[in-house]
Amino acid sequence: MNATLYRQMMSVYLKGFLNYAFGSAFYILLMLWLYPGIADNVKAIDDIVNSMPAGVGRAFGLNGYGTAEAFISGEYYGLILVLILAIVCVQLSTQLMAKLVDQGSMAYLLSTRTTRAKVAVSQAAVLASGLLLIFAVTIAAGALGKMWFLGDKFPFDMGRFLVMNAAAFLLFFAVGGISFLVSSLANDEKKAMGVSGAITFGFFSLDLLGKLSDKLDWLRDVSIFALYRPGEIVNGTAHLALPFVALAAIGLASFALAVALFRRRDLPL
């Protein structure tokens, strides 16, 4: 890795990372602030959720609001966070690689005393570091929100909250790796973003459709989003070993393949 390039790119994208991180933190704090008022009406809300078709509840992570972490998993981790970070991964991976090639900046980087492999590894490290920063701030906000708004009166399992964030990080580590691989092979910024977006939201759509109907459940077998199940984590029914290993392996393999292929491909320099 090229430490100078890594520091420079982190400084360029740090403001964006912090915007997403503090936005996520604000949403978590808002959810925890609202929960004490919602907790008084949990039974009524659960009755409404239970009256919906089962597929709707699965698709949008409506698992009941008996605990604060269950409320957060359905209202944030089940859909909103997934959509936001999917966009972050697609956009950022494109900017880190394909955009530099498209605009000619990659030629400048490679004219210095560095190699293609070091450039690719440095850019991959920026993407992974940005995701880590977002989740670190989100976890810190959850801990503060628990202390400020919930105290000992309302249950909040910090362990399950941490596991849910670990699962989300690994999901987007894998999504980011796939998007980074596409970006490393592209010469055109728009084409790279289009292909990465189609793959990412194609996987997301397959998972969503599979949740809506038991007849379409097989669609989830081809989507990496099926490995991310925040509702099962907060309910204590998730089997974590295989999904965690699979997502980590997909991410590492995608980043490694991106570096290897970027070293060998022809570039329009």
Count of alpha carbons within 13 Å of 67, Cβ hemisphere only? 17
The fraction of the chain above a pLDDT of 70, given in percent, is 89
pLDDT digits (tens, 9 = 90+) for 104-138: 888 778 877 788 899 999 999 999 999 999 999 99
User: Does any domain span residue 101?
Assistant: yes
- Write down the pLDDT at residue 61: 53
Question: Contact at 8 Å (CB) between 5 and 109?
Answer: yes
Q: Are 160 and 233 in contact (CB under 8 A)?
A: yes
Residue with more model confidence, 213 or 269 = 213
The residue type at 13: Y
What is the band of 80 on the pLDDT scale with cuts at 50, 70, 90? confident
- The per-residue pLDDT for 107 is 79
Instruction: List, for residues 164-223, the tens digit of each pLDDT value.
Output: 999 999 999 999 999 999 999 998 899 999 999 999 999 998 888 887 777 777 888 889
Highest mean pLDDT, choosing among 9-18, 35-44, 62-71, 104-113: 9-18
The verdict on residue 26 lying in a domain is yes
pLDDT greater than 70 at residue 24: yes
Predicted local confidence at residue 36, as pLDDT: 83
- Enter the pTM of the model: 0.90
Calculate mean pLDDT across residues 148-170.
Answer: 90
| Residue 48 CB neighbours (<10 A) | 11
Identify the pLDDT of residue 6.
Answer: 92
Residue 144 neighbours by CB under 8 Å, 6+ apart: 29
- Domain span at 101: 3-264
- Per the structure, the count of domains in the chain is 1
* 269 part of a folded domain: no
Q: Give the pLDDT confidence score for residue 51 in this predicted structure.
A: 55
pLDDT of 264 above 70: yes
Q: Count the Cβ atoms, other than its own, within 10 Å of residue 44.
A: 10
User: What mean pLDDT do residues 29-45 have?
Assistant: 76
